[in-house]
């Protein structure tokens, strides 16, 4: 490869295309050049034994195709040829020539996307509420952990494309670029449709993203669920029996709301929001989170696991010391569940093992700082909304639930904040308050 570089000072120029050789090195590079919407912009030697090939992909689809290509059998065959050729022709043992979707490479590529202000995350085709962290070469598809268990049990060579390590190593944080705006979510047409007006000041205690950057709100003061369009205008609402404390999108145009007491209300969010079935549980349901086919429900000192139809109940985690039902969030790979316990965050794994007893988020007196909500921003970053008198902070924690080093809190000078969610498509932080408003911030991911 080094020799190749010596002969080709201008990798991107025409000399590159005009060359005609038949060594496996060229086959390999030619293969990359054939991938649509991907182009080699630079090839450079980084040190004595390695070479960087810089490739630009003009769209996230192109990036996906590229990643699929380099772990395809055809590419692997070309690598095998290269290794054999080096061994036979040059007597070089070259076990370290291999291709895989290294998490580092993916992250570098994703970082480029972030700096253009777009956060791309790959939702599972089967589970629209769940991120893909795996790739199956047999089916040539990206998938989530739930899919691996249910549909790819016999597939060989499933690769982890986003690993725990990549979460921890990438060391990025979220930065607020600007406020996009504050939006009124109170339904008040006074004369037009008097029966539909919100009676009380809104209390947005739960929020979640829906497909196409729409937002679902739980207004616990008016016992209503509301959907906002991508311009944050209330476009639909429905009344529920009791205060909704939390909402969660579970895929297939369906969302669930945890109502005060022990019921879970299902709603269809396609077009106008519509109530569907109501499920009664035998315990309180405070917060909800969904990953793959699993619905997590927090209830006082216990975290339950259900399927998406509220069947197959299992106790995931029980801790008699917990007094208040925790807010919960699940990491993208489904391996970490974060519990907001009053003032601190506890992390458990997918089997319910206690991983981290109590990550002290604040250094100072924590008694005044209650965790109101938790959400996952992507990139392994966990956002925790903490409320204190006259000031609210959004803390950023890493995948392990540890405070990101040297990253200031995002301080929001808004009273009565209740809930947060993160729009990954548009890289925006949305905050729900108790004052008829939601507040939207444009964000970007920066290296820490």
Measured from the CB atom, is 74 or 413 closer to Zn ion? 74
Task: Establish if 124 lies at the interface with Zn ion (CB under 5 A).
Answer: yes
Task: Establish if 136 lies at the interface with Zn ion (CB under 5 A).
Answer: yes
b/e per residue 406-436 (b: at least 16 CB within 10 A): ebebbebebeebbbbbbbbbbbbbbbbbbbb
- The residue within the footprint of Zn ion, chosen from 36, 84, 139, 233 (CB under 5 A), is 139
| Tokens read off for 381 | 């970053």
Q: How far apart are CA 73 and CA 300, in angstroms?
A: 50
Measured from the CB atom, is 2 or 139 closer to Zn ion? 139
Task: Establish if 126 lies at the interface with Zn ion (CB under 5 A).
Answer: yes
Task: Establish if 147 lies at the interface with Zn ion (CB under 5 A).
Answer: yes
Three-class SS of residue 377? strand
Q: How far apart are CA 234 and CA 204, in angstroms?
A: 13
For Cα atoms 428, 432, 438, give the angle at the middle one, nearest 5 degrees. 70
Task: Establish if 25 lies at the interface with Zn ion (CB under 5 A).
Answer: no
Instruction: Candidates 86-94, 154-162, 217-225, 274-282: pick the segment binding Zn ion (CB under 5 A).
Output: 154-162
Measured from the CB atom, is 146 or 350 closer to Zn ion? 146
Q: How many chain residues interact with Zn ion (CB under 5 A)?
A: 11
CB of 67 to Zn ion, least distance (A): 16
Task: Establish if 152 lies at the interface with Zn ion (CB under 5 A).
Answer: yes
Task: Establish if 138 lies at the interface with Zn ion (CB under 5 A).
Answer: yes
Instruction: Give the relative orientation of helices 103-115 and 60-70 as an angle to the nearest 10 degrees.
Output: 170
Task: Give residues 248-267 in contact with Zn ion (rule: CB under 5 A).
Answer: none
Cβ(162)–Cβ(133) below 8 Å: yes
- The residue within the footprint of Zn ion, chosen from 110, 120, 127, 418 (CB under 5 A), is 127
Measured from the CB atom, is 150 or 230 closer to Zn ion? 150
Instruction: Candidates 44-52, 68-76, 140-148, 358-366: pick the segment binding Zn ion (CB under 5 A).
Output: 140-148
CB of 70 to Zn ion, least distance (A): 18
Measured from the CB atom, is 136 or 202 closer to Zn ion? 136
DSSP 325: P
Which of 395, 389, 346 lies closest to 368, judged by CA?
389
DSSP 262: T
CB of 156 to Zn ion, least distance (A): 9
Instruction: Candidates 79-87, 104-112, 117-125, 334-342: pick the segment binding Zn ion (CB under 5 A).
Output: 117-125
DSSP, residue by residue, 17-47: HH----SHHHHHHHHHHHSTTEEEEEEEEEE
- If you search the block for the tokens 């990954």, which residue do you land on? 424
Measured from the CB atom, is 124 or 210 closer to Zn ion? 124
CB of 421 to Zn ion, least distance (A): 21
* Residue 39: exposure state from Cβ atoms within 10 A (0-12, 13-18, ≥19): middle
Which of 409, 406, 403, 402 lies closest to 388, judged by CA?
409
CB of 2 to Zn ion, least distance (A): 38
Instruction: Candidates 16-24, 111-119, 121-129, 363-371: pick the segment binding Zn ion (CB under 5 A).
Output: 121-129
CB of 372 to Zn ion, least distance (A): 30
List contacts with Zn ion (CB under 5 A): 124, 126-127, 136, 138-139, 144, 146-147, 152, 155
């Amino acid at each position: 490869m080094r020799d190749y570089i010596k002969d080709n000072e201008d990798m991107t120029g025409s000399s590159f295309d005009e060359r005609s050789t038949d060594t496996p090195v060229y086959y390999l590079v030619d293969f990359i050049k054939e991938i649509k919407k991907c182009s080699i912009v630079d090839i450079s030697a980084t040190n004595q034994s390695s070479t960087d090939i810089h490739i630009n992909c003009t769209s996230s689809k192109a990036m996906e195709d590229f990643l699929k290509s380099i772990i395809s059998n055809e590419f692997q065959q070309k690598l095998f040829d290269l290794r054999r050729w080096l061994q036979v022709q040059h007597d070089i043992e070259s076990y370290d020539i291999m291709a895989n979707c290294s998490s580092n490479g993916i992250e570098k590529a994703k970082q480029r996307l972030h700096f253009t202000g777009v956060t791309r995350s790959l939702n599972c085709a089967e589970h629209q509420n769940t991120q893909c962290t795996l790739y199956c070469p047999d089916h040539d598809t990206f998938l989530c952990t739930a899919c691996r268990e249910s549909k790819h049990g016999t597939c060989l060579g499933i690769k982890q494309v986003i690993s725990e390590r990549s979460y921890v190593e990438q060391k990025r944080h979220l930065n607020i670029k600007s406020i996009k705006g504050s939006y009124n979510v109170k339904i008040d047409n006074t004369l037009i449709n008097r029966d539909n007006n919100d009676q009380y000041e809104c209390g947005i205690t739960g929020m979640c993203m829906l497909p196409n950057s729409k937002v679902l709100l739980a207004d616990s003061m008016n016992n209503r669920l509301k959907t906002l369009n991508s311009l944050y205008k209330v476009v639909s609402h429905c009344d529920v029996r009791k205060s909704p404390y939390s909402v969660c999108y579970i895929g297939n145009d369906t969302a669930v709301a945890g109502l005060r007491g022990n019921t879970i209300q299902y709603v269809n969010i396609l077009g106008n929001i519509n109530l569907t079935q109501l499920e009664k549980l035998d315990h309180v349901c405070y917060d909800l989170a969904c990953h793959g086919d699993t619905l997590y429900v927090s209830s006082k000192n216990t975290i339950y696991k259900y399927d998406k139809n509220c069947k197959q109940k299992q106790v995931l985690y029980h801790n008699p010391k917990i007094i208040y039902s925790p807010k919960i969030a699940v990491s993208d790979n489904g391996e970490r569940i974060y519990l907001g316990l009053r003032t601190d965050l506890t992390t458990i794994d997918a089997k319910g093992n206690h991983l981290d007893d109590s990550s002290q988020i604040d250094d100072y007196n924590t008694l005044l700082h209650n965790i109101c909500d938790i959400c996952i921003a992507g990139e392994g970053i966990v956002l925790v909304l903490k409320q204190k008198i006259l000031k609210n902070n959004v803390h950023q924690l890493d995948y392990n639930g540890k405070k990101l080093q040297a990253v200031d809190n995002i301080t929001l000078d808004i009273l009565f904040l209740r809930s947060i969610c993160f729009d990954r498509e548009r890289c925006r932080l949305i905050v729900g308050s108790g004052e008829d408003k939601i507040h939207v911030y444009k964000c970007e991911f920066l290296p820490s």
